[in-house]
Structure 1
């Protein structure tokens, strides 16, 4: 394995092992935003409760002090919103602190409104269940101990409710409060836990995708090892054959025989083809990519690629549409050429009479589309597109081409998608389409562009 492959493999493994931490932070941020929404609901509910108690039931409560607590809660929620919207991750400690603030403000409100006689004291259960969902075991038990201590303290210390003589008795109001508290707990827990579960599923799917990418990168490294070994083993005999063939072509007895000359010419073509295949395998494995860049322009790169591909393929109709509005300098990358060439070869195998190649540029992305008039992709191939050893040709050893294509595009920061679509100018009713979408910054020479703009 060369130094570049070792570096890529090390980075891949580090990414894999860091994935759970990154995953927890991203999911924690989503859960923190859910807490902010839940806290706004609590603010609205407390304001409504204070208004109803004062205006409907005429129960005397320390309204100014309770409103002051609400102002603090609103300020804290605004600060949390600003903090967590700017941050890409939220730690477990920050979530614990946020829940602790909720517990403290709830305790203060209950202290001013009857303590444990207040039926809304059961909202502590909401805090405990949320902590059990969001926090680790130690933090959850800390919340349980804190809420239990607060509830025990409220049973001894609290501001009693002063009920007016016209009230129908605190027992009936307490029953109504218990019902309302139960409905609130049930509704909020259903909404909150449903959203949290959705966040967890999305995070687990993202984590699984990251691990899949790491496994595919590891597979590429292994393929690079096999390709390196094959290149070293086959390089010497191919070089020997090339020397012998060159000697034969200079021998007079062979030069007088036109049939032998034609056969030697065909042998030379096949020998060069073998060398090209080995170079392509090494290139796809990522071993010569950095050494294969040169300065060119996007139009020259695409035109040369198309002319070279057409000269080596006897295709009946090949349509090339270059819709890129202006020419600009790029770094010629052999891996990119090999990627496009591979897809064109697959399209030619499926549709030897008609292939279409379209190049566009929009939203700072280079879009390359290869379409054919073949039978199209099967549903299985579409769901497993880009997976190694998944091929519709039914021959052993196939399926690596599209796998390399997808991974080269990924290394360049782009994506590859495949679908079936009928082309209006195609001879058949079906056809497969492969679309590359690559960021221009991955191939564009920014220094050259900037110097031209300065001029």
Structure 2
């Protein structure tokens, strides 16, 4: 069963209105008993006006909740404040602080402490305490409800008894304890719920990564044989058609790409072996970034770029997991696939973090995909599967970084990668 502190705002509002309905029903029953059974002298017309006003507010709140499920903390706080003011008016006409039902102030205070933040609960507690204090002096007295009227405090001429003073201190202590402990417990529960949600999300992402990793390992194993066969056929074609310069050029490019695929498979096996090591070797951040750019340009000779590497960045070394370079390469390839012309790349770093900014001139991100990018099998490219961006997000997040994609005002997409570094300055 969900607790009140973990319920959505609209459910909290529904429960508050239900509590108010029960309270008003109880007040009406008590007034009926006082009128017909006890024959207690009360200002019934004024009390009925107050009950009618609270009932009208309750009906309007139910109607609004039915047509709109959005409920803010401010609105919830106002409704609790209405309860406090309504209780105050009822108590004013029924003996003030001498009324034994004055402790009902604690009900809206408990609800606020369990559902709202400090900035709402503390003002509500101070308001309730102030109104409770005023009820000692401003009230319609009812001798039948005044407890211990013959045992007033020595030297007191204002009619405040030791009983009511004790009730006041009891309310003060109770409200302070509720405001502090319940708010703290509610915040802890909310934080725990958020952490559990993050853990569930991480677990699902890890399961997806494991599935993708298994598929990649099987694919890498299967690609070795056909790549060798293709490479052999290309070599034979080069030897057979030596008199066709144009075909020789195409075959040389094809052979180069095949070799690149072969090298990638070898690097995949090497990275898998290095990932088993407990320590990673350090590398100068500048050299690391330049190597990534050089390898990418070698793989994508069709792109035109404007690359800026911060000359004022400190000379530091850092440890990089092998998957980081692959993740950055995925982001660069996404920009090249969107539009290979005039890609702007800005690289900078400090002793604590590294930032890559990649601007392309492609079509940008469709609104319906903006909230889904980074999930598996979600891609803005018609021929893409979204695995590259999914793996990039997962890898960067694992090492405390983040990847943001947004549409540029002048068209295209801006990709920003921010990654913490474990660095040491170069002497």
Q: TM-score, normalised by structure 1?
A: 0.52
Match of 2:357 among 353, 369, 373: 369
Residue 290 of structure 1 is matched in structure 2 by 275
Matches within 5 A, 1:151-300: 163-164=153-154, 173-175=162-164, 177-178=166-167, 181-182=170-171, 185=174, 189=178, 193=182, 196-249=185-238, 251=239, 253-275=240-262, 278=265, 287=272, 290=275, 296-300=283-287
Residue 40 of structure 2 is matched in structure 1 by none
Give how far 1:399 is off. 0.8
Query: Cα deviations across residues 156-178 of structure 1 (Å, max 9, x unaligned)?
Result: xxxxx99537567775x424653
- My pick for the range that moved more, 294-303 or 355-364, is 294-303
Residue 294 of structure 2 is matched in structure 1 by 307
Relative distance call for 1:166 and 1:360 in structure 2 (3 A) is closer
Q: Does the 8 A contact of 2:152 with 2:160 survive in 1? A: no
Residue 406 of structure 1 is matched in structure 2 by 393
Residue 359 of structure 1 is matched in structure 2 by 347
| 1:434 is the counterpart of 2:423 | no
Q: Does the 8 A contact of 1:238 with 1:271 survive in 2? A: yes
**Aligned partner of residue 377 in structure 1, secondary structure:** coil
Q: Does the 8 A contact of 2:319 with 2:421 survive in 1? A: no
Give how far 1:343 is off. 0.6
Distance 1:281 1:237 in 2: 17
Give how far 1:272 is off. 3.1
Q: Does the 8 A contact of 1:227 with 1:282 survive in 2? A: no
**Aligned partner of residue 200 in structure 2, secondary structure:** helix
Q: Does the 8 A contact of 1:342 with 1:405 survive in 2? A: yes
Match of 1:339 among 304, 327, 338: 327
Distance 2:268 2:387 in 1: 10
Query: Cα deviations across residues 184-239 of structure 1 (Å, max 9, x unaligned)?
Result: 74686467545543442233122211221122122212211111111222212222
Q: TM-score, normalised by structure 2?
A: 0.55
**Aligned partner of residue 306 in structure 1, secondary structure:** helix
Higher relative contact order (CA 8 A, sep 6+): 1
Q: Does the 8 A contact of 1:163 with 1:170 survive in 2? A: yes
Residue 402 of structure 2 is matched in structure 1 by 415
- My pick for the range that moved more, 274-283 or 400-409, is 274-283
Q: Which runs of 5+ in 1 are unaligned?
A: 1-118, 134-160, 423-428
Residue 54 of structure 1 is matched in structure 2 by none
Give how far 1:408 is off. 1.9
Q: Does the 8 A contact of 2:401 with 2:418 survive in 1? A: yes
Q: CA RMSD in A?
A: 4.5
Relative distance call for 1:412 and 1:420 in structure 2 (3 A) is same
Match of 1:386 among 345, 370, 374: 374
Query: Cα deviations across residues 91-148 of structure 1 (Å, max 9, x unaligned)?
Result: xxxxxxxxxxxxxxxxxxxxxxxxxxxx9xx89x99xx89xx8xxxxxxxxxxxxxxx
Residue 115 of structure 1 is matched in structure 2 by none
Match of 1:321 among 309, 312, 323: 309
Give how far 1:295 is off. 5.8
Q: Does the 8 A contact of 1:294 with 1:333 survive in 2? A: no
**Aligned partner of residue 340 in structure 2, secondary structure:** coil
Distance 2:320 2:156 in 1: 88
